[in-house]
Structure 1
Amino acid sequence: MKSRFYAYNFGIPMLCAALVFLMFDMTGIDIAISNLLFDPQTQTFPIDKIHFFEKLTHKWARIIPDWTAEIALIGALLSVIWPLVNPHKRPRLGAFLQRSKVAPLLRFCAEHRRDFLFVVVAFAVCTGVIHFLKSHTSVYCPIETTLYGGKMPHIEWYENFQLFHEAGSGRCWPGGHASGGFTMLALYFVARRYQWRFSKAILSGSLLLGFIYGTTRVLQGWHYMSHTLWAGIFVWLACLLTALAFYGWARLALPVLSRREQTLSRVAATSACPAFRTAD
C-alpha cells in the first residue's frame, strides 16, 4: 500500500513533468494556442479587455484559497487554547465553554493541530516554491513579449534558469494564479489520512480549480498553457514533501483509520487467542 501511494503521488507529477517538457517546452504548442487567442489587427488578447472577466476569474476567484488559508491559520491558533484552558484544573471555565458551545470547536482544533499547521505551512511552501522559480527563470508573459506586441524577448524557462541568484525581472513561469488553485491539494493529503469519503473528489477538484485558474490567464494572454501545467506539478510535489515532513513516510501512506482498525484487530485477536499473548 505504501509503495502504491508513493508511486502514485511521486510518479504522476514526474510523468507529467516529462510529458509537459517534451510536448510543450520542446515544441511550439504554447505559441500556437496563444496565437488562436490573439487578435493581430488590434494587437491584443480580446478577452483581456473584458473587465468583468478579470474580476471574476482573477480577483474574486482568489477567495477560495485565501479563505482556506485563513481558516487553517485560525484553526492552528485555536488549537493551543484548549490545552491552556485545561478543564480538569478549571472546571468552571470548562463548564462555561461547554455551555457556550465553544468547547467542541476548541477540542476539534486541538485534536487536529498538526493538520491545521500542515495546511498553513503547505500553502506557504507552495507560494515560496513558485516565487523562487519565477524569480530564478525570469520568463516574461506572452502579452509582454515581442510576439504579441510587447517589448521583451520570448524565452523558455530552461534557457535562463539561475539557481543561486535572480535571473531578471520576468515573473511568469510557472503560473502564479494557477498555483493558488492547486494549493488546495494540501487538503487532499489531510482528507486521505482520515479516509474521508470525498478525498478523491478533493484531489480532482483541486486539480480542476488550478487548471481553471490557469486557463483563464491563458485566455487573457498572461500565461502559456504549459505555465499552468508546471504550476500543478510543482505544487503537488511541494504539498507531498511538506506532508512527509509533517506526518512521516509511514504515517502519511497509512491512513489514520486504517492504523486504528489494525490496532483494534490485533487487540481482538489477542483477546480471542490468549495462547499468543507475550509474557510480561
Structure 2
Amino acid sequence: MATQDNIPLSDKGLVIKINPLYRLSVRFYLYQFASLAMLAVIFTWLSRNEGLDRLLTGYWYDAASHGFPLQKNHLLDLLNHRLLKDIVIAGGAIALIYGLIRRQPRLITVAVLFGLGALTVGILKATSHHSCPWDLLEYGGKAVSYPLFGQVPAGSGPGRCFPGGHATSGFAVMALFFLFYRERPALAWCCLAGGIALGLIMGYGQVMRGAHFFSHNLWAGWWVWLTQLVMYGIVSTWTVKEPKSL
C-alpha cells in the first residue's frame, strides 16, 4: 500500500516516491540549452524555407473548393481539438489540487509548468502578424504570407497564428520529466518523449484542418520546453538548499 508520500504508478506494484523539489546540475542545463540553440537554427531554416510547411499543408488543401475539407470535420475537431486538450488540462488541474492537498511541492511545480508553457505561447501568438494557412491567399483566404523574421507586408491578415497554440497542450506533458527524473530517469525521458509525440500529433491535426503550418508546432514545443526549463531552474534554485543532482 502506498503511503501519503507515494503514488502508485502501475498495477505491478511499482511505486514512485514523490520527494520535494530538487536541483539539476549546471551541465544538464548547458546540454539542454545547447540542444535548444541547435533546434532554433533548424526550425528557423524550416520556417524561412517553407518547403516542408507547404508540402504538408498542400496535401490537405483542395484547390477545387479553395479550402481545407477537414477544416470543419466534427470528428477531428472533437478528438484532437477538444478531447485531447481537455484531458491534458484536466490532468494538470487534478495534479495541482492533489499536490496542494498532499503538500507536495514537486507535484505542484510540475502542474504549474503545464500552464506556463501555454501562457508563453499564448503571449507570442497574441503579438504575431503571421496568419493561419486558411487565411492566406494561396489557400483560399485574403491574407499575405511572409517568412519568419521577414518584413511584415501590408495585408498580412488577422495574424495571431504563430507559434501553434493548440499543440502546447500536448507539449505541456513534457513537464512530467521533472516529476520523475531524480528517482526514475528512464521514466522521465519517456515522459519527455511522450509529451513531444503528443504535441506533434495534436499539432498535425491542426495542419490537417489548415489551422497551422507544421513549423508553427515545432516552435510551440521549443517555447514550451524552454519555459519549463527556465522556470523549474528558477524555482528549484530559489527554494532548494541542497547539492545539485548529477
Q: Shared fold (TM-score greater than 0.5)? A: yes
Q: Among 183, 201, 206, which residue is 2:195 paired with?
A: 206
Aligned to 1:187: 176
Q: Which runs of 5+ in 2 are unaligned?
A: 1-23
Taking structure 1 as reference, are residues 40 and 13 closer, same or farther at Cα in structure 2, changes over 3 Å only?
same
Q: Among 224, 228, 242, which residue is 2:231 paired with?
A: 242
| Partner Cα distance (2:116, 2:151) in 1 | 23
Amino acid at match of 1:151: K
TM-score by length of 1: 0.70
Q: Percent same amino acid at aligned positions?
A: 31
Higher-Rg structure is 1
- Find runs of 4+ consecutive structure 1 residues off by over 6 angstroms: 249-252
Amino acid at match of 2:144: P
Q: Which segment drifts farther, 48-57 or 224-233?
A: 48-57
| Partner Cα distance (1:55, 1:216) in 2 | 11
Aligned to 1:138: 129
| Partner Cα distance (1:69, 1:15) in 2 | 30
| Partner Cα distance (2:91, 2:180) in 1 | 14
Taking structure 1 as reference, are residues 68 and 60 closer, same or farther at Cα in structure 2, changes over 3 Å only?
same
Deviation at 1:50, TM superposition (A): 2.3
Deviation at 1:220, TM superposition (A): 1.0
Q: Among 20, 32, 51, which residue is 2:55 paired with?
A: 32
Aligned to 1:44: 67
Amino acid at match of 1:141: C
Taking structure 1 as reference, are residues 140 and 194 closer, same or farther at Cα in structure 2, changes over 3 Å only?
same
Does residue 1:68 correspond to 2:57, yes or no?
Answer: no
Aligned to 1:58: 81
Deviation at 1:196, TM superposition (A): 5.2
Higher relative contact order (CA 8 A, sep 6+): 2
Does residue 1:172 correspond to 2:161, yes or no?
Answer: yes
Deviation at 1:219, TM superposition (A): 1.0
Taking structure 1 as reference, are residues 59 and 198 closer, same or farther at Cα in structure 2, changes over 3 Å only?
same
| Partner Cα distance (1:128, 1:23) in 2 | 24
Deviation at 1:35, TM superposition (A): 1.5
**Alignment partner of 1:22: what SS?**
helix
Q: Which runs of 5+ in 1 are unaligned?
A: 79-108, 162-166, 256-280
| Partner Cα distance (2:110, 2:243) in 1 | 14
Deviation at 1:21, TM superposition (A): 0.6
| Partner Cα distance (1:157, 1:197) in 2 | 36
Aligned to 1:121: 112
| Contact preservation (8 Å) 1:193, 1:252 | no
Deviation at 1:146, TM superposition (A): 1.0
Aligned length: 218
For each residue in 1:137-183, what CA deviation from the matched residue of structure 2 results, as whole angstroms up to 9, or x when unmatched?
2211000111111122213342368xxxxx98422110111111101
For each residue in 1:43-80, what CA deviation from the matched residue of structure 2 results, as whole angstroms up to 9, or x when unmatched?
121222421121111111113321222112212431xx
| Partner Cα distance (1:118, 1:252) in 2 | 19
Structure richer in helix, relative to its length: 1
Aligned to 1:259: none
Aligned to 1:266: none
